[in-house]
Amino acid sequence: QVQLVESGGGLVQAGDSLTLSCAPSGRAWGSVAMGWFRQAPGKEREFVAAMSWRPVREYYADSMMGRSTISRDNAKNTVFLQMNSLKPEDTAVYYCATHLNGIYYQPSSYDYWGQGTQVTVSS
């Protein structure tokens, strides 16, 4: 079983940038793709971005296109989500997850999930 640990969340102002990190605890990635999702209070979990590394491809939600970058540092065994020009509507708990199979933007395509990190954007 893979345990994922997210970090980097916090309270920022609208227009600021934030970089989230996700790493598996105690082992290397057991998947060739992973994704970021977010969930705001009272809303369903929604896709933010995903990355595969065999082949290397990136996928973004329309709401984050042009404002976010997903990347991977092999040496640190960590995946990052850089978010720019943050808006109050980006406020949510952000989760990383390992992709199992299926469509990248569907939560059901992922098997292991982290505990989440809170991102709050004030106006």
Q: What is the rounded average pLDDT of the residues 117-122?
A: 98
Q: What is the DSSP string of 17-76?
A: -EEEEEEESSS--SSSEEEEEEE-TTS--EEEEEEEETTEEEEE-TTTTTTEEEEEETTT
Does 28 have pLDDT greater than 70? no
Which pLDDT does position 114 carry in this prediction?
94
Question: Are 10 and 83 a contacting pair, CB within 8 Å?
Answer: no
Does 19 have pLDDT greater than 90? yes
Average pLDDT of the chain?
Answer: 93
C-alpha span between 36 and 57 (Å, rounded): 14
Q: What is the Cα 95 distance to its own chain's centre?
A: 6
Which pLDDT does position 22 carry in this prediction?
95
